[in-house]
Every structure is written in C-alpha cells, then in structure tokens.
Amino acid sequence: MGTRTGELNGLAEQVHRDLDLIDYPRGAWMKKTTRGTEPVLDVAIAGAGQGGLATAFALRRLNVGNVTVFDRAERGGEGPWITFARMITLRTPRYVTGPDMGIASLTPRAWYEARYGADAWDALGKISRQDWQAYLDWYRDTLALPVENDRELEHVTQEDGLLRLTFRTGAGTTTTRLARKLVLATGIDGGGCWNTPAFIRNAVPRERYAHTSEPIDFTALKGRRIGILGAGASAFDNAGTALEAGAGSVDLCLRRKAIPAVNPYRWMENTGFLSQFSELPDLLRWRFMSRIYDLNQPPPQDTFWRCRRHPNFAFHTGCPWTDVRMDGEEIVVTTPQGEMRFDFLIIGTGFTIDLAKRKETASFAASVALWRDRFVPPEGEEHDMLGSHPYLGDVYQFQAKNPDDPQAAMLSAIHNFTFAATPSMGLSGSSISGMRFGVSRLVNGLVRDLFVADGQYHLDSLMAYNTPELISTDPPPEDADQQTNTKRKDQA
C-alpha cells in the first residue's frame, strides 16, 4: 500500500478545522514574564515522547503557548517505540485514545484509517510499534509542536522564584533557559534508571550482557546460548527477537512460581480509577498499588506464543539467579535448580526509582518527599519499592520532605509526569491508557498554579480594561445593522 499522503494531508486539514470549530476562549491571558531582557518560558517540558507532546498540545488548547519541549534525542529517536522496544505490536488495545485530547480527527484510529484505509482498521488486532511512532510523528507535525531536539536537561536550580534549566547538546555545549514551571516527561525510567543487578555487572564482561533497554546486535547472537532474567513483557520481547534472529537457545528465568498472567492495566482502564485515584486516602492507594505492582504486567498471549513456538525456547519458573561467574568463555549462572551455562545474558529486570540517579533530579533528590517519608504501612504490608517513589501533590508536583526546605517552592514548580508518579496518581498519565485523564489533570494544575500566582496581575488587568462595547448614544446611522454584524464577527 502507498503512503496515502493525500489522505493524511486531508486528515491534517480536518484537524485544523476541528480545532477552529472549538476554538474558545480565544483571548491571550497569560502574563508575559521576562527576567531583564531574558525571556522566561511559562512551561518547559523535558521529554518529547507522547507525554511531552500531548502536554504541549493540551496547554495550547488552554492558551498557554509560551512552552517549549526539549528532548535529548535527535528527532526520530524519542521514546521506546522504534529505539529499543522489541515487541511486534503495542500492548495497549487499539481503541485506546489519549494524545488526541478528545479531538476525533487526532485519534490513532483516524490516523490509521487515513494511512491504511477503514478496512485495514477493521482487520487490525493491535497497532504496531512502528505505526505508533509514525502516528506520533504525524501528530507532532500536524500540530507544529514546539520541540527542540538534542537538548538534555542536566540540571535545575532556582533563581528569584524561577527555574534555571541547564541543557547539554550531544556535542557537549550547554545552554540555559528560565522557566516558571517544569514538566518531567522523561519516560518510564524517568524516576531513576534501568536496573542491572550488581552481581551480574561485577562478574560478566560488558560485551557479554545487555539490559533490555540497550541496543543489542541480535545477528551476532546467531547460534549462541542466551540466558534471560525477568518475566515482564520486555523479557519475552527480547526472547522472541533473539529466537527469530537464529539464537541457538533461549532460556528465560524468573523468580516467581508462575509467569504473571493477569494484567492489572486492563482493570485500571476505567473512568473512576483513571480520573480519581489520586483523591483516595494513602492507605487505599497503597493497597491498590501493592496489588498492581505485585501482579506486574504479563507478556501478552501473542508475545508468549512468539517465543513458545520455537523448540529451542525454555522458561524456568522459581528460578532466580543467585550468582553469576565466568568459566573461561562461558557464563555460569547459579540457580536453585542448578547451574546454567550461557554465551550472552539479557537482563529484563526493569528499572529502579531513585531520583538521585538521574542528572536532572540529582541535585534536589534529597529534598523530595517519598512515600516512605509520608506513609507508614500497616505491619505486614511493607513494600520497599512503593516506598521509594516520590509522594506527589495533586497535580504531579514534587513536595518537599521538610516544608521549611529552601528548595520547597522550586520543588512545587516541578511536575513529575513519569511512571514514578504511579503510586500517587494511579496509572501513569503519560502511558497510552492513562493519557486521556492524566494530561488533563496535569495541564489544569499547571494553569491553576500560574493563574493563582498572577492573581493580582489579572485583577489589575480587569481594572485597566476599558474597551467600550457601547460606543455611541446617538441615533443609529443608516448602516447600523451592517456595523453591528461586522463588530460581532470581529469579536468572535
């Protein structure tokens, strides 16, 4: 099938028309802020994945246009979809909407039908990850979103009530920008870092293992014995990719007694949970999240079969790796079920939440309130991982551990729109399933804070407002009706 450029261009025109039809209110309302001659962004967004892009669009719909999205990747390298994700399709059902913010012509389905035709949509199971990225590219271009690539946010400090953001380019140069608000839309690992256990890192040469989030040359693994640690969906995606590339054998090992089978994401996809979870008391939120984190996300059935159809694939439940060592050229893994020997290891152990481990949050990490600082679980309900997540305010903002902390005001201007927000806010607002409600909550919160901070300015604006609607008390001129109509249109 061709690229159907005409249909996609037509859809882009439809988007502009739809946005025009609902373009209200129209008036600029934000105070212009500068520091001397230096411009100040109302909102800076770190991360131009789907979460950052949708946030910029939703802010524009609220007439907050002084916004820039920064991404450390070059254009095309944002997010996981065509970089390190190795599944065939999204795990999310095709009917989920999110980035569109309720504009029908901006939905994934509208894009898919324009790109491939309505019949193709009817026949579709789930959207491929390549198509998802193509949709996000079209979305970004159609909306002309203000993105600067090759800008890694490295550092945040406070300066006279504003945020001073330092960015580094790939070539090593640094620039700084001032902003009133910062949204961290830095991805699934944005609250910490990908996690490869130290006993593996310390024992195995670097070229003999990779985390699922890293580039892997699967053709070089042809005929090799591969050991995979982890039972999440990504572990299976990597197993499938290795098997299809001709791996000699793939053994996937998991600590659990059974492969997770129930996907709590599907349960979470309901309006009450998605929109109101963050309003629940701490104990209930904790219990919800303990259950959700313990269920984990299983491999979808098609992903599992992608692996299971290969006779040289095996999975081993109740099989944690307790030690790893080299024996000449072989990697020897110790498990409760005995030793296993491999040529290469793939580590699917996900990520750790630790703000001190990220450049952009490291300088203030010690001041941020975490769940373990604010909530003591009942005996028997302790959960170290949940306790390590930031304890966020109602619109994703960090909160200071100690309210007297001199960084407290700065922290409340930084909104964590990453997966680290999950225990506080419910299903991540930047995930496809969570966006519809998460992005709205975030942008309404940003606008609330900005409007309230400028309350006196807006009152002064009202006091100074003296544009007369009634301009004459004389008898009407002959063309009065025409003049009134023209004026009505101008005001529209």
Ligand X SMILES: Cc1cc2nc3c(=O)[nH]c(=O)nc-3n(C[C@H](O)[C@H](O)[C@H](O)COP(=O)(O)OP(=O)(O)OC[C@H]3O[C@@H](n4cnc5c(N)ncnc54)[C@H](O)[C@@H]3O)c2cc1C
Chain contacts with ligand X (rule: CB under 6 A)? 46-52, 70-73, 78-80, 85, 87, 90-92, 152-153, 185-188, 234, 360, 430-433
Q: Which is nearer to ligand X, 142 or 335 (CB)?
A: 142
- Give the residue nearest to ligand X (CB): 49
User: Nearest distance from residue 167's CB to ligand X, in Å?
Assistant: 7
User: Nearest distance from residue 152's CB to ligand X, in Å?
Assistant: 4
User: Nearest distance from residue 80's CB to ligand X, in Å?
Assistant: 4
User: Nearest distance from residue 347's CB to ligand X, in Å?
Assistant: 14
Q: Which is nearer to ligand X, 178 or 324 (CB)?
A: 178
Q: Which is nearer to ligand X, 46 or 179 (CB)?
A: 46
User: Nearest distance from residue 187's CB to ligand X, in Å?
Assistant: 3
User: Nearest distance from residue 418's CB to ligand X, in Å?
Assistant: 6
Q: Which is nearer to ligand X, 352 or 483 (CB)?
A: 352
Q: How far apart are CA 163 and CA 142, in angstroms?
A: 30
User: Nearest distance from residue 335's CB to ligand X, in Å?
Assistant: 25
Q: Which is nearer to ligand X, 124 or 203 (CB)?
A: 124
User: Nearest distance from residue 392's CB to ligand X, in Å?
Assistant: 15
Q: Which is nearer to ligand X, 10 or 170 (CB)?
A: 170
Q: Which is nearer to ligand X, 55 or 335 (CB)?
A: 55
Q: Which is nearer to ligand X, 187 or 298 (CB)?
A: 187
